Amino acid sequence: MKITVVGSGYVGLVSGACLADVGNMVLCLDVDARKVARLQQGEVPIHEPGLDEVIRRNVAAGRLSFTTDAAEAAAFGTVQFIAVGTPPGEDGSADLQYVLAAARQLARHMTEYRVIVDKSTVPVGTADQVRQAVQQELQARGVDIPFSVVSNPEFLKEGAAIEDFMRPDRIVVGCEDETARKLMRELYAPFQRNHDRMVWMDVRSAELTKYAANAMLATRISFMNELANLAERLGADIELVRQGIGSDPRIGYHFLYPGIGYGGSCFPKDVQALQRTAQASGVELAVLAAVEHANEQQKQRLVDKVVQRFGEDLVGRHFALWGLAFKPNTDDMREAPSLTILQGLLQRGATVAVFDPIAMETGRVAMQAAGIALDRVQFAESANAAVAQADALLIATEWKPFRSPDFEWLKQALKTPVIFDGRNLYDPALVRAQGFEYLAMGR
């Protein structure tokens, strides 16, 4: 099949590469000319495990290419995926300008039947807006070309995106006409040879399903974070509580890890956007409002602990921060809790040495965008180098290389043996037995 993917970010690149990998011809379009030039030179602009290899293989086989030319992209695929960003607007609702611009640019150039697939995370009713935008452009051109609009939300997880796309738990498709349904079935057949994973529904339900999934996951995280804070006060260990409840199959173990709040490019904005949708419909989502509030509080928790330990005035204090990315195995810094922690420490006068295995460069860019004073941030060469002469170590991302440090060495390297662990990486008894003050989440 010939497929166009509009938007070559995390979702567009992974989708395009994986669709090419099963034998389709894929053309990826982006408005960012620098990004496209890098891709054309064989460079992958994001860090996603395994993605480089899939892209290289399919470019070499002539199945995957990149362009900035909207006309070429419109002419290419029968199926046209829209995978552009849907950032929060000023009021927190999803900003649809990129999605609608993508739809319009396709409509300005298309000459025959197209299936337009909304893969971006978009509020209920967006497919109707896309349909209307395309119709308007076609009318302006004085042509009548048939097209379908389908909702196919993406559930991939950054850091495991290739695996998620290649072996999906489910493929949700909101589709209301037979031609498009047949094409979507064909398109996804190679990804579900073991058993059928298609979940068919109407378009509006598919649009809502994506928000419902992220809202549910965010709810689990905020719930556990609040319980962790309570466990601390009560002298209970939230890790044991987690295992105690996770073993109940009605609850399960996933997404019950307490930490420093959820971040990333999806949960924060999707939780907000769903609330705006509900408000506009006159429906109260009281649970979700609390989820967001709890998350904002949680992002401050690690700094609160530092202040409790070292005092409000941190002038002259120097800290090591391990982990910048919002989660391991990605370089994505969008809404990363590490930024809130950095701001909290710097505002109180401290200096900070940071280290992340992958997100040093994206981290620097995100800090700049957040107005963080870079002259008081030291970008360390290694995790060990970050620790030298620090008053304490803070952990913000649960990267594998941080999970089993040489505690003996660490104790010597730190000025005072204090660890603020925002990800509960270590066994408290073990770390404390080595002479550390260990302040984790809910333990």
Q: Which residues are annotated as a binding site for substrate?
A: 155-158, 210, 255-259, 263, 327
Cα(313)–Cα(309) distance, rounded to whole angstroms? 11
Of 10 and 147, CB closest to ligand NAD: 10
Task: Tell me how far, at minimum, the Cβ of 113 lies from ligand NAD, in Å.
Answer: 21
The residue among 102 and 173 lying less far from ligand NAD, judged by its C-beta, is 102
| CA proximity to 303, closest of 321, 323, 316 | 321
Q: Nearest distance from residue 126's CB to ligand NAD, in Å? A: 10
Rounded distance, CA 16 to CA 64, Å? 8
Rounded to a whole number of angstroms, the minimum distance from the CB of residue 192 to ligand NAD is: 19
CA distance 41 to 32: 15
Query: What tokens appear for 139 in the block?
Result: 């009318």
Query: Rounded to an integer, what distance in angstroms lies between the CA atom of residue 48 and that of residue 103?
Result: 27
> To the nearest whole angstrom, how small is the minimum distance from the Cβ of residue 425 to ligand NAD?
23
Using CB atoms, what's the residue nearest to ligand NAD? 9
Q: Cβ distance 290 to 218 under 8 Å? A: no
CB of 19 to ligand NAD, least distance (A): 15
Give 126 or 424: the residue with its C-beta nearer to ligand NAD.
126
Strand order in the sheet with 351-355: 377-379, 351-355, 318-322, 392-395, 418-421, 437-439
Provide, rounded to whole angstroms, the least separation between the CB of residue 45 and ligand NAD: 8
Helix-then-strand count for the chain, H and E: 18, 14
Annotated binding site: 30, 35, 86, 121, 155-158, 210, 255-259, 263, 269, 327, 334
Closer of 204 and 376 to ligand NAD (Cβ): 204
Q: 101, exposed or middle or buried, with CB in 10 Å at 0-12, 13-18, 19+?
A: middle
- How deeply is 23 buried, as exposed, middle or buried, from its count of CB atoms within 10 A (0-12, 13-18, 19+)? exposed
Q: Which residues form the interface with ligand NAD (CB under 6 A)?
A: 6-12, 29-32, 35, 83-86, 98, 101-102, 105, 120-121, 154, 156, 158, 265-266
Q: Do the bridges between strand 318-322 and strand 2-6 make them parallel or antiparallel, or are there none, so unpaired?
A: unpaired
Cite the annotated binding site for NAD(+) by residue number. 30, 35, 86, 121, 158, 269, 334
C-alpha pair distances (Å), 428 with each of 12, 270, 431: 42, 34, 5
- Nearest-angstrom CA–CA distance, 361 and 364: 5
- Coil, helix or strand at residue 438: strand
Distances (CA, A) of 299 to 222, 256, 258, 432: 11, 16, 11, 25
Token digits of residue 378: 């030291």
Are the beta carbons of 155 and 168 closer than 8 angstroms? yes
Half-sphere exposure of 355 (CA within 13 A, CB side): 18
186: Cβ contacts below 8 Å, ≥ 6 apart = 1
Strand partners, 148: 115
Distance in Å, CB of 359 to ligand NAD, minimum: 14
Q: Compare residues 32 and 348 and give the one whose CB is closer to ligand NAD.
A: 32
From the list 18, 28, 175, 266, the catalytic residue is: 266
Least distance (Å) from ligand NAD to the CB of residue 8?
5
Catalytic residue list contains 28: no
Sheet holding 79-82, edge to edge: 64-67, 25-29, 2-6, 79-82, 114-118, 147-151, 171-174, 198-201
User: Which residue lies nearer to ligand NAD by CB, 363 or 405?
Assistant: 363
Token code pair at residue 390: 């620090």
Residue found by looking up tokens 């109407």 in the block: 202
Of the pair 41, 404, the CB lying nearest ligand NAD is at 41
Q: Which residues are marked as active site?
A: 266
